Amino acid sequence: MKKNILILCLCILGVVSAFTGLSAQSTAQSFESNPVDKKFVLLPVKTGAAKTWVTVNVDGVWQHEFEIELATENPDFYATLEVGQWKGKKLVLTAETVVPGSKWLNLIKTSDQMSDEPLVYKEEYRPQFHFAPRRGWTNDPNGLVYYKGTYHLFFQHNPYGTSWGNMTWGHAVSTDLVHWNEMADAVIPDKNGVVFSGSAVVDWNNTSGLQTNPARDKAGKIVNPPLVAFYTSTDANRGKGKSAQSMVYSLDEGKTWLKYPGNPVLPHMIGGNRDPKVFWYEDRKNPANPNNGHWTMALFMDGEDYALFSSKNLIQWEKICDIKKLGCSECPDMFELPVDNNKQQSRWVFWGGNGKYLIGNFDGKEFKIESGPFTTKFGGNDYAAQSYSDIPANDGRRIQFSWMQGGEYPKMPFNQQFTSPRNLTLRTTPDGIRLFMEPVKEIEKLRLPDPITFSATLKGAENPVQVTGLKGELLDIEIRFDLKSYHATDTNSVIKTELFGQTISYNPGTQILSLTGIKAPLAPVDGKIKLRLLIDRTSLELFANEGIVQIAKCFVNKDKNSANLTISGNSDLADVHIVAYQLESVWKK
């Protein structure tokens, strides 16, 4: 027999006796790899099977635990547990309760590849240009940070099942915001508990001291700064305890992440305090001094209340102000944007979980509300958005991702997806300064040549205009309605756009835009209504009038190749102009 042997043992915690005299009862069973010589253990999962807790022990030391629907036979998919960091050590996985006759020990695998490699990204309801994890559940985007040409996307991840649980930070990287390479999970639970949402930054000046061997270029700039991420750790009482804020850091450009030994860096204070958003505030009085500023953390506290904290080193934090009654909870974000692209007229935006936001000013100590709350989001499946830190100044964009909450992916080994990445801007409107969001320009790289162009006058509510020639299920469509002025007071006439069973309506009289019942106010601009539609296999994103309104809606497109676009409305309502692109998938076939 090989010295390096995978021992499928039924001898721990009385398993042998269970199969000799107590076979009618569930019992514990263990898998052993001694020594570890592969990067991953692949665990068989059957959705709907009885759940069991599995503990991970290395050389006899408890590491973490997770809950999983272990397949007794015929697994739906394999979940990936990374074990490469324990190479040469003894690994024991113990399932607390296993039903009699289960064959999970015979199904478990070890590999240097992540699970289901030949099958992943080829599933029937896999989004084709929106990110969804290879396997398991996802929700909030986390730790969005850019460093050395790479966009890092971390995300709430249950690696072991398609329902919420076992919160871990999944990890994917991209060089263009549309093509993603999923890495092994970056931050896993530990003695402080499971890993909830948070953010990440580049500590350019090594204020934390976490880079113990800083290298500098000729100008004295640190060329190997630590990347530092903050998250909410929830007590190891199987995710049901109090929350505190913890920290991890990377010294290898985000490839691997180390737990800060002094965690948590901010203890539990009140309620569900969670979701730390950290950024560097630079004091404009002396910008030449690299230390003339401080770190700021925006944190959800309880109810509809948030707070700001300050730190010089990312480790010691003190509270500086409260932000109350935003009208939502969770997932704060905070950033500065120029108004109408004028950096001398900037404002700060404070953002909450459901997309409500405040506009104001921040002097490093106090956020003073100028207006709001407002929203760009009106129902739909959009929640917990976060924006990137450390986008280079020569780019200058505020790029945001959001979880498309509540989507359905029938019989898939993954669950939930993200929106397309969006660029945020502040612009002056007749109602004041407002936030706009539009798809990033990188989406246009997916456009196939030879778009469909079409112009027509509406022919009546009972005689829809047919837009022919559209093919495929992945589309980027720009629609412009040139409205007829006399209808400004008509509240009964509606323009309807229908595609893949989804209906978009606009009433020029009431100035209400609707996507299958999701309604938003939308005033014409220069007598025009502009819509941008991004349609994927399981979603539709609608951006109106350059993104003052945005609706993200999940739906299952079961009629993939029938792109039958129709537009109806009274002939004196509007003229319509369309440019429609077919998009290519980001996944290799």
Cross-strand pairs, 438: 423
Q: What angle do CA 192, 246, 311 make, to 5 degrees?
A: 150
- Here the tokens at position 340 are 């109408």
The Cα 294–Cα 310 span in angstroms is 7
One-letter-per-residue 3-state SS of 188-240: CCECCEEEEEEEEEECCCCCCCCCCCCCECCCCCECCCCEEEEEEEECCCCCC
Exposure letters 81-93 (e unless 16+ CB within 10 A, then b): bbbeebeeeebbb
In 3-state terms, what secondary structure has residue 30? Answer: strand
Q: Is 140 among the catalytic positions?
A: yes
The answer to whether the beta carbons of residues 212 and 239 sit under 8 Å apart is no
Q: Which of 76, 116, 140, 476 is catalytic?
A: 140
Contact assessment for residue 413 and residue 523, using Cβ atoms and an 8 Å cutoff:
no
Between the alpha carbon of residue 524 and those of residues 397, 479, 505, 508, the distances in Å are 26, 14, 14, 8
- The whole-angstrom separation of Cα 51 and Cα 277 is 33
CA-nearest of 83, 81, 82, 84 to 68 is 81
User: Which residue carries 């099942």 as its tokens?
Assistant: 161
Residue in this structure with the two tokens 């992440």, named with its chain if needed: 257
Q: Beginning with the edge strand found earlier in the chain, give each strand of the sheet holding 502-507 in spatial order.
A: 460-467, 565-569, 495-499, 502-507, 512-515, 518-521
What is the CB neighbour count within 10 angstroms for residue 186? 26
Walk across the sheet containing 258-259 and list its strands.
194-202, 227-234, 243-250, 258-259
Total residue length of the chain: 589
Q: Are 157 and 414 in contact (CB under 8 A)?
A: no
A 10 A CB-CB count for 236 gives 17
Per residue, what are the HEC states of 62-126? EEEEEEECECCCCCCEEEEEECHHHCCCCEEEEEEEECCCCCHHHHCEEECCCCCCCCCCCCCCC
DSSP β-bridge partners for residue 132: none
Buried b (16+ CB within 10 A) or exposed e, 555-567: bbbeeeeebebeb
Residue 583 is encoded by which pair of tokens?
Answer: 């998009």
Could you give the residue numbers annotated as active site? Answer: 140
